[in-house]
Amino acid sequence: MSNITLKVNGITVNADVDGNLRLLDFLRENLELTGTKEGCSVGECGACTVIMNGKSVCSCLLLAAQCHGAEVTTVEGLHRDPVGKRLQHSFVEHGGVQCGFCTPGVLMSAKALLDQNPQPSDEDINEALEGNLCRCTGYQPIIKSIKAVLKTR
């Protein structure tokens, strides 16, 4: 067991965790933040993407104990941020949400991109989404959703 303290969606969390507990499972099971989805479990699909210390990461590849001292934002935390809130609304308005399974991870990748680059090029957007698989939208509605947020900034 390890004792960890981290900030999740702006709230400080202290917990004892098993050494093999993944961040994904800690968020979903211990904190009941079920917006983060488990897809492939090997970091290929991006469904489990969260923002940790300002960068998008696959939570299925990190142990919770590795996140001691980190700041983590999940899809549930996006509504607290003006850009995150605009992204969520834009995805609904422009059809970036289809079945919804990949949407939390895609939103987190988009948010991390916009935090680092407020005016990304098409190439920047495509690169930021490389780790997120979507089988429903064909990506064009997702890209349109992200670009619509750029116009409102």
Topology agreement, domain 2-75 and domain 77-151: no
Task: Provide DSSP, the chain.
Answer: -EEEEEEETTEEEEEEE-TT-BHHHIIIIIS--TTSPPSSSSSSS-TTEEEETTEEEETTSSBGGGGTT-EEE-GGGGGGSHHHHHHHHHHHHTT--SSSSSHHHHHHHHHHHHHH-SS--HHHHHHHTTT---SSS-SHHHHHHHHHHHHT-
3.40.50.1980, 1.10.150.120, 1.20.120.1750, 3.40.1010.10: CATH of 77-151: 1.10.150.120
Q: Tell me: the pLDDT tens digits for 34-43?
A: 999 999 999 9
Q: Tell me: the pLDDT tens digits for 17-34?
A: 999 999 999 999 999 999
pLDDT category of residue 141 using cuts at 50, 70 and 90? very high
Q: Where are the domains of the chain?
A: 2-75, 77-151
Domain 2-75 is of which CATH architecture? Roll (3.10)
pLDDT at 94 over 80: yes
